């Protein structure tokens, strides 16, 4: 079993009722997950991660957090594209 769904659900449980400091801390945790641990997250949990990142992108309390979430989505898109390229190259070798 993996703990990723639990971690992502905890980070994603942030709502506008929470104070700004807590929202920023959750965003920093999310950024750490995407920038440092994305390659360790099983593909079956990437949908949860995308929803959590999107939630931060839609929040209206802090524009910088929303813009940062867009950057995280770009990082994830780039990662998925590179994975597909590697898979394609492996198929061509075989």
Q: Please give the mean pLDDT across all residues of the chain.
A: 93
Domain boundaries, the chain: 4-93
Over the stretch 18-57, which tens digit does the pLDDT of each residue have? 888 999 999 999 999 999 999 999 999 999 999 999 999 9
Look at residue 34 in the predicted model and tell me its pLDDT.
98
Residues 15 and 80: their CA atoms lie apart, in Å, by: 28
Look at residue 17 in the predicted model and tell me its pLDDT.
87
Which distant-in-sequence residues (6+ apart) come within 8 Å of 13 by Cβ? none
Residues 6 and 58: their CA atoms lie apart, in Å, by: 21
Which distant-in-sequence residues (6+ apart) come within 8 Å of 23 by Cβ? 14, 59, 61, 62, 65
Look at residue 45 in the predicted model and tell me its pLDDT.
97
Residues 24 and 43: their CA atoms lie apart, in Å, by: 26
Residues 46 and 20: their CA atoms lie apart, in Å, by: 26
Exposed (0-12), middle (13-18) or buried (19+): which is 34, by Cβ within 10 Å? buried
């Amino acid at each position: 079993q993996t703990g990723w769904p639990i971690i992502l659900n905890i980070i994603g449980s942030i709502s506008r009722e929470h104070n700004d400091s807590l929202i920023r801390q959750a965003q920093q945790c999310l950024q750490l997950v995407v920038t440092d641990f994305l390659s360790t997250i099983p593909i079956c949990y990437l949908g949860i991660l995308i929803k959590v990142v999107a939630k931060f992108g839609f929040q209206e309390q802090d524009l910088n957090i929303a813009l940062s979430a867009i950057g995280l989505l770009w990082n994830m898109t780039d990662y998925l594209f590179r994975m597909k390229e590697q898979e394609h190259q492996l198929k061509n070798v075989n």
